[in-house]
Structure 1
Amino acid sequence: MNAPVETPLLGRPLLEMRQVTQTYSLARPTLLGTRPSLTVLDHIDFDVRPGEAVGLVGESGSGKTTLTRILTGMEKPREGHVFYNGADIWDGDGERWRTFRRSVQVVMQNPRSSLDPRMRIGVSLLEPLRSLKIEGDHATRVFEVLDQVGLSRQALERYPHEFSGGQLQRIAIARALMPGPKVLIADEPVSALDVSIQAQVLNLLKDLVNNLGLSLVFIAHDLSVVAYTTSRVSVMSAGKIVEVGKPMDLFVRPQAEATRNLVGAILTVESGLAGNALA
Structure 2
Amino acid sequence: MSAVTSFPADARPLLEVRQLSQVYNLNRQKLFAPRPKLKVLDSIDFSVRPGEAVGLVGESGSGKTTLTRMLTGVERPGDGQVLYDGVDVWTGGEAHRKLFRRSVQVVLQNPRSSLDPRMRVGTSLLEPLRSLKIEGDHGTRVLEVLDQVGLDKNALERFPHEFSGGQLQRIAIARALMPGPKVLIADEPVSALDVSIQAQVLNLLKDLVRDLGLSLVFIAHDLSVVAYTTSKVYVMSSGKIVEVGKPLDLFRTPQAEATQALVGAVLSVEAGLAGNALA
Report if TM-score (shorter chain) is over 0.5. yes
Given the superposition, is the C-alpha separation of residues 271 and 153 from structure 1 closer, same or farther in structure 2, using an over 3 Å criterion? farther
Structure 2 counterpart of 1:120: 120
Q: What is the rounded CA distance, in whole Å, between the counterparts of 1:270 and 1:107 in structure 2?
A: 33
Equivalences, count: 264
Structure 2 counterpart of 1:11: 11
Matches for 1:13-32 after TM superposition, within 5 Å: 13-32=13-32
Given the superposition, is the C-alpha separation of residues 270 and 84 from structure 1 closer, same or farther in structure 2, using an over 3 Å criterion? farther
Report the identity percentage: 78
Q: CA deviation at 1:113?
A: 1.5
Given the superposition, is the C-alpha separation of residues 37 and 165 from structure 1 closer, same or farther in structure 2, using an over 3 Å criterion? same
Secondary structure, counterpart of 1:23 in structure 2? strand
Are 2:65 and 1:65 equivalent residues in the alignment?
yes
Structure 2 counterpart of 1:4: none
Secondary structure, counterpart of 1:227 in structure 2? helix
Can you list the C-alpha shifts for 1:88-141, whole angstroms capped at 9, x where unaligned?
Answer: 000022111000000000000011111110000000000000000000000000
Q: CA deviation at 1:267?
A: 2.5
Structure 1 counterpart of 2:93: 93
Amino acid at match of 2:166: G
Q: Which runs of 4+ in 1 moved over 4 A?
A: 269-272
Structure 1 counterpart of 2:255: 255
Can you list the C-alpha shifts for 1:155-195, whole angstroms capped at 9, x where unaligned?
Answer: 00000000000000000000000000000000000001111
Structure 2 counterpart of 1:235: 235
Amino acid at match of 1:11: A
Structure 2 counterpart of 1:194: 194
Secondary structure, counterpart of 2:144 in structure 1? helix
Structure 1 counterpart of 2:136: 136
Structure 2 counterpart of 1:277: none
TM-score by length of 2: 0.93
Structure 1 counterpart of 2:276: none
Q: For the Cα contact (< 8 Å) 1:224–1:269, is it kept in 2?
A: no
Secondary structure, counterpart of 1:112 in structure 2? helix
Amino acid at match of 1:238: S
Q: What is the rounded CA distance, in whole Å, between the counterparts of 1:266 and 1:50 in structure 2?
A: 30
Secondary structure, counterpart of 1:90 in structure 2? coil
Q: CA deviation at 1:196?
A: 1.2
Q: CA deviation at 1:269?
A: 7.0
What is the RMSD of the two structures over their aligned residues, measured on CA atoms?
1.4
Mark the runs of 5 or more structure 2 residues left unpaired by the alignment: 1-7, 273-279
Are 2:77 and 1:77 equivalent residues in the alignment?
yes
Q: What is the rounded CA distance, in whole Å, between the counterparts of 2:155 and 2:97 in structure 1?
A: 32
Given the superposition, is the C-alpha separation of residues 183 and 200 from structure 1 closer, same or farther in structure 2, using an over 3 Å criterion? same
